[in-house]
């Protein structure tokens, strides 16, 4: 009987170790290169990475509905506003406070419950044959609402999270009343009703439908790389990037980030994975496949991103945690102005 008991105990312990030696990621990122990165983590640590991919809304809904039965350890997605909103629903927990994480990620881009793993800037793209240097001089996000840009601007819809976070940053810096007036000016200045993704805005400028567009930095690099076809590559060569607010707080920055899910069954492994994602090896892999900016110091972005310029002033004053906190106000300002 003792032998049988020992045998069963050993089997139980072995099974427990096997199942514990894993981490479950719910990821809204759509990069095949991320899977390659997880494979590198497994080869280094022996920790198996299980990935559930999908759109952010669907993943969040599943985690919420499954509650304590959820197997999710990490929620990886784009935009601090999205992570902040998920935190506000009580779906994340603290723990991302190890010395490795804190030393790698500037305090502006992390909380105890979620941290940035890569950065992106939301900037202006212009048609160099239709926009003069004098017009661009001192350009800010705020000045995009100036009358001189009437009928010349393209930007995504108000339900886009990137825009919501940009407007949330304006509310943090300028207040709700001024930002609401700014949103009205933006609507007046739109060359068309908002439609399409960020690349569609760049394409509109290249096609002459507008003179300036607002879009994230990595989209231009993606188009220039040829990965979206020769037509988009040719279009991308017709526009130039411009980094707003250089005389003030700096250009709006955002993140791709990882949140530690409440009740994560493999919390320790999840923290190890986040630390790995912030290693030099992982950061080099990320930036060379996604065209984002590295989160850590000492890593250079992809050459196509470098060519856009690295000497711009980043907004390190506005903590990205404010994007989630002021998301509702941002949406209200846009919809109140008639921003579709």
Instruction: Give the Cβ contact number of residue 164 at 10 Å.
Output: 25
What are the pLDDT digits (tens) for 99-115? Answer: 999 999 999 999 999 99
pLDDT above 60 (res 198):
yes
Q: What is the pLDDT of residues 32-80, one digit of tens each?
A: 889 999 999 999 999 999 999 999 999 999 999 999 999 999 999 999 9
**Token pair for residue 62?**
């599943």
Instruction: Report the pLDDT value the prediction gives residue 251, as an integer from 0 to 100.
Output: 98
Tell me which residue of 330, 324, 183 sits closest to 255, measured CA to CA. 324
> CA distances (Å), 53 to each of 62, 85, 191, in order?
12, 19, 35
pTM of the model: 0.90
Domains in the chain: boundaries: 2-119+254-301, 120-252+318-336
CATH topology identical between 2-119+254-301 and 120-252+318-336 = yes
Q: Which phi and psi (to 5°) does residue 126 adopt?
A: -135, 160
Span 136-154, pLDDT tens digits: 999 999 999 999 999 999 9
Superfamily of domain 120-252+318-336: Periplasmic binding protein-like II (3.40.190.10)
Residue 287 token pair: 């930036």
Structure-model confidence comparison of residues 172 and 6, the more confident one: 172
Contacts for 26 with CB less than 8 Å, ≥ 6 apart = 52, 54, 59, 62, 63, 72, 74, 75, 76, 261
Q: In angstroms, rounded to a whole number, what is the distance separating the alpha carbons of residues 167 and 173?
A: 10
User: What is the distance between the alpha carbons of residues 149 and 259, in angstroms, rounded to a whole number?
Assistant: 39
User: Which numeric CATH code is attached to 2-119+254-301?
Assistant: 3.40.190.10
Which parts of the chain are beta strand (E)?
Answer: 22-27, 48-53, 74-78, 114-126, 153-154, 212-216, 240-242, 253-260, 293-294
Residue 8 scores a pLDDT above 60: no
Task: Return the DSSP state at 142.
Answer: G
* Confidence band for 20, pLDDT divided at 50, 70 and 90: low
């Amino acid at each position: 009987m003792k032998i049988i008991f020992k045998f069963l105990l050993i089997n139980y312990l072995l099974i427990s170790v096997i199942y514990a030696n894993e981490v479950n990621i719910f990821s809204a990122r759509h990069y095949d290169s991320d899977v390659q990165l997880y494979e590198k983590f497994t080869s280094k640590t022996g920790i198996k990475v299980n990935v559930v991919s999908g759109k952010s809304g669907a993943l969040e809904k599943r985690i919420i509905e499954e509650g304590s039965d959820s197997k999710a350890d990490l929620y990886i997605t784009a935009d601090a506003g999205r992570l902040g909103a998920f935190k506000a629903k009580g779906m994340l927990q603290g723990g991302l406070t190890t010395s490795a994480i804190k030393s790698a990620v500037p305090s502006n881009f992390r909380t105890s419950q979620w941290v940035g793993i890569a950065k992106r800037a939301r900037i202006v793209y212009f048609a160099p044959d239709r926009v003069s240097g004098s017009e661009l001089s001192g350009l800010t996000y705020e000045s995009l609402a100036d009358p001189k840009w009437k009928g010349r601007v393209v930007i995504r819809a108000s339900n886009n999270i990137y825009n919501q976070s940009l407007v949330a940053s304006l509310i943090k810096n300028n207040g709700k009343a001024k930002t609401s007036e700014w949103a009205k000016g933006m609507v007046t200045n739109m060359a068309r009703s908002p439609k399409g993704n960020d690349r569609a805005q760049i394409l509109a400028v290249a096609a002459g439908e507008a003179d300036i567009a607002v879009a994230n930095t990595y989209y231009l690099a993606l188009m220039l790389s040829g990965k979206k076809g020769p037509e988009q590559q040719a279009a991308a060569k017709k526009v130039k990037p411009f980094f707003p607010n250089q005389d003030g707080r700096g250009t709006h920055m955002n993140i791709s980030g990882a949140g530690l899910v409440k009740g994560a069954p493999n919390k320790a492994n999840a923290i190890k994975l986040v630390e790995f994602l912030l290693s030099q090896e992982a950061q080099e892999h990320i930036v060379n496949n996604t065209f984002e900016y590295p989160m850590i110091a000492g890593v250079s972005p992809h050459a196509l991103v470098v060519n856009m310029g690295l000497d711009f002033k980043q907004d390190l004053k506005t903590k990205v945690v404010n994007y989630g906190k002021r998301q509702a106000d941002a949406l209200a300002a846009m919809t109140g102005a008639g921003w579709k």
